[in-house]
Copies of this chain bind each other. A is one copy, B any other.
């Protein structure tokens, strides 16, 4: 093959997004690619000429293993959305000119639904202009909100991290012999997949969280407080998993409500409260018990020290499958994961038209939510449990997980 390959990462990172990068790189090299370029900071960096030759970075099979285990987007990322061709044709002309200069034949973009919009637009422009360059999407997002695919690489590891630390925090809540409420704030602005994953903590050796608040269900203050009060009559330590994106029936985010009074600190800057903190204050005020909020924070997307082996393997597979499909002539498509069975868990890859995926958000189906009990159903758990199975041990050096590193 004489054509070259380019690959980029876009949108928020995951703990396994670099495993997909490794899958693209290795499969392209195995198929005889001349050069595999990486665009730094996605299509935006590409436009600024930020391009690297990946073989300068991945020099051995050990490097490839380290790359898989390296959190965050190795190539950097962007949140740049391409304008419509009708609005700005020049940017497309620039991109394609640069691609031709690099003799690119295959273009891979690892990202979520916003990023798939880039693949959609570039492949449509290629079709319109008769370009032979093939554009393929590689799915990635901890949010699990991509259409057409059973689940997204990145979700399983975030879910495993969330369930593991939820178990640990539930234990921590039992330490003192006092009434307390712990609010776990979990990522997911519009889709409750990650927050629902806290239910996986429920197991032979753990009661699991007591309540789960998803953004798919409008938040009712009175009902919420009543439920917490009811649970606290039975047990002292109450643990509640809440999505950062829960909203009132009128559409306002719960965290917006808490900011209404617009508190300002002594330095004169506005204090922003998270959803967890707002709910902890609410509980403390209404029920008069100790309440604390724990934000699971950025670690949800970069805790590579406890990834799911199922997830990291599938992340690698979708990267490889995208290369295979492109080499076989596909373009304007995304690789999907297709579940064959829950138990034993079996999953293969498939391909799907990018137009049906770009900009579409998949939320938790209402039939998987037990609304009155603030929980997810057994169907949700059966769906999610296989995705957190098994581990890929970090390569530990001097007591810490080793990452692939390249000095700038």
Is there a chain B Cβ closer than 8 Å to A49's Cβ? Answer: no
Contacts of A340 in B (CB 8 A): none
User: A299 is contacted by which of B13, B165, B281, B308 (Cβ under 8 Å)?
Assistant: B165
Is there a chain B Cβ closer than 8 Å to A87's Cβ? Answer: no
Q: Are A400 and B294 in contact (CB under 8 A)?
A: no
Segment from A134-142, A169-177, A188-196, A328-336 that makes contact with B? A169-177
CA A299 – CA B391 in complex, angstroms?
20
User: A302 is contacted by which of B172, B265, B306 (Cβ under 8 Å)?
Assistant: B172
Is there a chain B Cβ closer than 8 Å to A90's Cβ? Answer: no
User: A306 is contacted by which of B174, B257, B305 (Cβ under 8 Å)?
Assistant: B305
CA A398 – CA B390 in complex, angstroms?
8
Is there a chain B Cβ closer than 8 Å to A282's Cβ? Answer: yes
Residue of chain B at shortest CB distance from A159: B399
CA A304 – CA B165 in complex, angstroms?
9
Is there a chain B Cβ closer than 8 Å to A72's Cβ? Answer: yes
Is there a chain B Cβ closer than 8 Å to A268's Cβ? Answer: yes
Q: Are A400 and B303 in contact (CB under 8 A)?
A: no
Contacts of A265 in B (CB 8 A): 257-259, 278, 281
Residue of chain B at shortest CB distance from A221: B267
Q: Given A41-B177, A297-B294: A403 and B171 within 8 A (CB)? A: yes
User: Taking each of A70, A266, A271, which has the highest tally of chain B beta carbons within 10 Å of its own beta carbon?
Assistant: A266
Q: Are B176 and A79 in contact (CB under 8 A)?
A: yes
Q: Are B76 and A177 in contact (CB under 8 A)?
A: yes
Is there a chain B Cβ closer than 8 Å to A360's Cβ? Answer: no
**Contact residues of A between 381 and 400, Cβ < 8 Å to B:** 385, 388-391, 393, 396-400
**Contact residues of A between 294 and 329, Cβ < 8 Å to B:** 294-295, 297-299, 301-306, 308
**Contact residues of A between 148 and 184, Cβ < 8 Å to B:** 160, 163-165, 167-169, 171-172, 174-177
Q: Are B281 and A171 in contact (CB under 8 A)?
A: no
Contacts of A41 in B (CB 8 A): 176-177
CA A306 – CA B391 in complex, angstroms?
13
CA A72 – CA B258 in complex, angstroms?
31
Is there a chain B Cβ closer than 8 Å to A45's Cβ? Answer: yes
Contacts of A271 in B (CB 8 A): 258, 277, 281
Is there a chain B Cβ closer than 8 Å to A115's Cβ? Answer: no
CA A388 – CA B396 in complex, angstroms?
11
Q: Are A303 and B165 in contact (CB under 8 A)?
A: yes
Q: Given A175-B72, A205-B404, A258-B267: A169 and B389 within 8 A (CB)? A: no
Residue of chain B at shortest CB distance from A406: B205
Q: Given A257-B266, A285-B267: A299 and B72 within 8 A (CB)? A: no
Q: Are A175 and B405 in contact (CB under 8 A)?
A: no
Is there a chain B Cβ closer than 8 Å to A233's Cβ? Answer: no
Residue of chain B at shortest CB distance from A273: B292
CA A50 – CA B45 in complex, angstroms?
63
Q: Are A76 and B204 in contact (CB under 8 A)?
A: no
Residue of chain B at shortest CB distance from A291: B269
Since A205-B403, A257-B265, A305-B306 are in contact, a sample of 5 more A-B pairs with Cβ atoms closer than 8 Å, ordered by chain A residue number, is: A172-B298, A203-B397, A205-B397, A306-B306, A391-B396
For this complex, 20 residue pairs linking A to B, each with C-beta atoms less than 8 Å apart, are: A72-B168, A72-B171, A72-B174, A73-B175, A164-B401, A165-B299, A171-B302, A172-B302, A205-B405, A267-B278, A267-B285, A268-B285, A270-B281, A271-B277, A271-B281, A294-B295, A389-B399, A390-B399, A391-B396, A393-B393
A interface residue numbers (CB < 8 A to B): 12-13, 40-41, 44-45, 50, 70-73, 76-79, 160, 163-165, 167-169, 171-172, 174-177, 200-201, 203-206, 257-259, 265-271, 277-278, 281-282, 284-285, 292, 294-295, 297-299, 301-306, 308, 385, 388-391, 393, 396-405
